[in-house]
Amino acid sequence: MPDSCVPTRASLAWAGSGIAAALRLCCVLIALLLGACATVRQELPSRLSQEQTNDVTLYAISLVGTPYRHGGNSPDAGFDCSGLIGHVYRSRAAVLAPRTVALLADWGQAMAKAEARSGDLVLFYQGSTATHAGIYVGEGRFVHAPSTGGEVRLDQLASKYWSRQEVAFRRP
């Protein structure tokens, strides 16, 4: 066998380093491709701190039982749905919320239901028109002032009535 066909230590080291380099390159490329396919879930920003969000949630729940009053925006006078939202955000987070459901429908950032957290808004629609709103308090529940003759309530989105409604979520 000619000497040129017999592998030497130097030629084996060079071939080994070439294979190792190729393998490293393949691993890097695979990692980049897999990383490009992965979704990075970023939390939607909020104008509320975590402490404010907790205060909003707890205060909204504490108002359950307050009478409904069309145009109402205080615990003493009673609440309609947007008045409840405005009062809670103003008194617990010093944030001024729009006074009508139509304006609340464009307030903050829209999000998927899966991203909703306590303190977010839940809005109900008939067609393309927002008709009702409440404060999401987590675990599929929300606080709202439902209708004339009623009172502020804590309801489940999965209840028979609310589960049939078109719903959207917004982060203030």
Of 5, 37, 87, 144, catalytic: 144
DSSP 104: H
82 close to 131: Cβ distance less than 8 angstroms: no
Q: Is 144 a catalytic residue?
A: yes
- Quick one: which of 74, 98, 100, 76 has its CA closest to 87? 74
Q: Is 70 a catalytic residue?
A: no
- Quick one: which of 102, 94, 149, 142 has its CA closest to 119? 142
Q: In what order do the strands lie in the sheet with 166-171?
A: 109-111, 166-171, 121-126, 129-138, 141-144, 153-156
Question: In angstroms, rounded to a whole number, what is the distance separating the alpha carbons of residues 82 and 104?
Answer: 8
Q: Is 87 a catalytic residue?
A: no
User: What residues are annotated to the active site?
Assistant: 81, 132, 144
